[in-house]
Amino acid sequence: MAAAACDGVSSAGIDEADEAVRGTCEDASVCKRFAVSVGYWKDPYIQYFVRQAKERKAPEINRGYYARVHGVSYLIKAFLKKTECNCQIVNLGAGMDTLFWRLKDENLLPRKYFEVDFPMIIARKIHHIKSKPPLSKPIMESHSGDSLLIDSHSLDSSRYSIQGADLRFSSELEEKLKKHNLDVHLPTLLVAECVLVYMTPQQSASLLKWAASTFPVAMFINYEQVNMTDRFGQIMIENLQRRQCNLAGVEVCKSLDSQRERLLLNGWETAHAIDMMKVYSFLPQADVKRIEGLEFLDEKELFEQLMQHYCICWASKDRSNLGLANIAF
């Protein structure tokens, strides 16, 4: 999702930065589709959103995405269990994510599922949904009530809503979500994967503060970089800068402590952060063994370094005492 507009940068420069961030959505989707094609996990929907990769992806990249998808999914399902699906999910910077369709297949849909991203990405996603029955049918099947609202930048059904908005402006975001029946009194899960790092620390703080002050019962899941001040982190930053991709929020990605602190400083009651190597060790080991047999991993050390530079953070506030603070791996 959003790249950050810096003071004193021309609008052309901002557009260029945003364009580079939009490119990361395509990269992530292509990597996921490749990992699915090799057998790391099942996702029958990703093929409708993105082309197959032209070249193989490295095994450490595939394992990294496996841990990301399973780690985030574990926390989402824990939240759905605590709320008995009587909740809503807001996927921030959703890109070509297929979670809505996968949850429907598992009979785990929340009351309503919202997706938000740059209008240009949303337009592309809506085009895929409209033109491909395996995507449009589940939305129609779960819809009830009035006719479905759809135009090039938004689609709204009774259970699924997808909107174009800039996450750097919380008031615009809130207005669009409320227009499509966001219910602030319902337990709400907000998910952001590699989103906050493209915003300035002030902009991400404002988004986190908005979420914490808007929903009395809520959980926030953030997946992004961590430990970025060491040599390996610097190389990651330089590689992205070469592609005109500026990590505007990288200073918050110093450590697991700085990640936790940001959540607590912006109105969340509890906050946890663990690196992806740890997440990987918590995943069901029989399945980890299975995927480790899919491809030979030559660069074990590189894989571990990579995993130590990404983390999952989650925070909660729980006025209804649903036990959200107890959610953990």
Q: Which residues are annotated as a binding site for S-adenosyl-L-methionine?
A: 68, 93, 166-167, 193
CA dihedral for 11, 17, 18, 23, sign (positive or negative): positive
Report how far apart, in Å, the C-alpha atoms of 132 and of each of 45, 143, 234 are. Answer: 10, 17, 41
List the one residue out of 251, 283, 150 whose CA is nearest residue 261. 251
| Whole-angstrom distance, CA of residue 294 vs CA of residue 62 | 10
In one-letter notation, the amino acid at residue 149 is L
Distances (CA, A) of 304 to 61, 262, 278, 280: 11, 25, 10, 10
Give the Cα separation of 155 and 62 in Å (integer).
Answer: 32
Pairing of strands 188-193, 160-164: unpaired
Residue 28 and residue 46 in contact, taking contact as beta carbons nearer than 8 Å: no
End-to-end CA distance of the chain: 26
Which residues does the annotation place in the binding site? Answer: 68, 93, 166-167, 193
Which three-class secondary structure state does DSSP give residue 58? coil
Distance (Å, whole) CA 309 – CA 230: 10
